[in-house]
Amino acid sequence: MRTAYSVETVRNAERELMARLPEGALMQRAAAGLAAACAQVLARVAGRVYGSRVVLLVGSGDNGGDALYAGARLARRGAGVTAVLLAPDRAHGGGLTALRRAGGRVAEGGPAGSAEELIARADLVLDGIVGIGGSGGLRKEAGPLADAAARSRAAVVAVDLPSGVDADTGRVRGDVVRADLTVTFGTHKPGLLIDPAREYAGSVRLVDIGLPLPGEAAELEALQHPDVARLLPVPAGESDKYRRGVVGIAAGSARYPGAAVLAVAGALRGGAGAVRYVGPAGDAVIARFPETLVSDQGPKRAGRVQAWVVGPGAGDDAATVAQVLAAEVPVLIDADGLRLADADAVRARTAPTLMTPHAGEAAALLGVGREEVEAARLDSVRELAARYGATVLLKGSTTLVARAKGGPVRVNATGTSWLATAGSGDVLSGLAGSLLAAGLSAVDAGSVGAYLHGLAGRFAAEGAPAGAHDVAAAIPRAWRDVRGD
């Protein structure tokens, strides 16, 4: 499992490790890993390190020192390395000395455009302007350099984190360096895994520098294939449909029958033994999926289920939502159900509850603008989970799953922009609801469902448009891929 830690936790771990190491040893570890990554990039973009042109954008903090020491290593391998100092009086002294001794140079004075001209001719630009303690976007003098790097043909490598993004939250408040590769040290930082900051990080490479990080202090968790494989429900020899779990789907309306069909499609591929459908779209559901158990007598009389999904395409059917919330089994609330659910009824539930809003729905529940949720996804999902006493899956370019009682937030590592299509969320609600019925906890059902859904979206699209029904059809392939079958 990939984890991410807050700036405070990283700083504490750095201090603890530095107290046990010779002075400067930790920075040298970071610089060695950074230089190795840059050498690989140069081999790809310039054909070799020797004779390539490298520009270092150097701020006043330790990130600037990392960049200078890495630049010195590249200079010793024959690269032409030039450092642009944004704070000459506060640049890392040891790093500057090492760079000059290795044959690198420092851009001194000259016309205002000289640094931008250096960037325009570079093969690689190393962003060491601001470290993990920075926030609020780039300062005025750094903005033109970030723009020049974005316009250039150079590969841009960020030191630890793209300068200008908020390491702890993923917020972006102003000019930011856009990297092709971010080389981060010791652990991932939350901003590298959460949009909008993630968009600026490019590919992320983790360099292990030996930080003593306490597992319980992680801010984020990102499941990987082996983690998901361990959580997938697999029937035993004595299993029947009830032992595997039965999921109830209360969805659809005369206006939106397709939402019911798509939620059932996701549920049938989610690992439960059977799907019971309740709602006005029974004919459409049974025509597409004859194995579905269809009832028109409401959730209370539908028969035994181990979990409910309520809300996709439900229109204004508040009575059905209320009946489902009163059930003493896990419940997933999506789409119209989020609008119709009584907040006090959600908080009063004793069985697990999983809410799955997109940014617009989350904004309505929080009473803020959509843009505020999208700018602060981590804060928003935590606030929703705390306010409703429920596990919350916030859908979007970065899907996050927050527990009701706090702890690490799960961030989904799969997906594709092609999943931004009508009905995709209905498939996810059915899939995650089926995992709930199969016995997974709310946080596991949400994060495993998002993982499989994102992977299925990649398989369904493969670089071209795909519909929600294509995503549902690709779930078995995603399942097999995770299990290595």
Annotated binding site for (6S)-NADPHX, which residues?
62-66, 131-137, 160, 259, 313, 358, 426
Cβ atoms within 10 Å, residue 372? 14
How far apart, in whole angstroms, are the C-alpha atoms of residue 174 and residue 137? Answer: 4
Q: Which two tokens stand for residue 293?
A: 């158990």
Q: Which two tokens stand for residue 468?
A: 């929600």
How far apart, in whole angstroms, are the C-alpha atoms of residue 446 and residue 155? Answer: 37
- Asked if 190 and 378 touch (Cβ cutoff 8 Å), the reply is yes
Please state whether beta strands 400-402 and 409-411 pair in parallel, antiparallel, or not at all (unpaired).
Answer: antiparallel
**Taking the mean position of all CA atoms in its chain, how far away is CA 268?**
26
How far apart, in whole angstroms, are the C-alpha atoms of residue 472 and residue 441? Answer: 22
**Residue set of the binding site:** 62-66, 127, 131-137, 160, 163, 259, 313, 358, 395-399, 425-426
**Residue set of the binding site for K(+):** 63, 127, 163
Angle between helices 468-483 and 442-461 (to 10 degrees): 110
Q: Which two tokens stand for residue 377?
A: 């996804």
How far apart, in whole angstroms, are the C-alpha atoms of residue 447 and residue 412? Answer: 7
**Residue set of the binding site for AMP:** 395-399, 425
- Asked if 7 and 133 touch (Cβ cutoff 8 Å), the reply is yes
- Asked if 137 and 165 touch (Cβ cutoff 8 Å), the reply is no
How far apart, in whole angstroms, are the C-alpha atoms of residue 288 and residue 477? Answer: 20
Residue 325: how many CA atoms within 13 Å on its side-chain side? 24
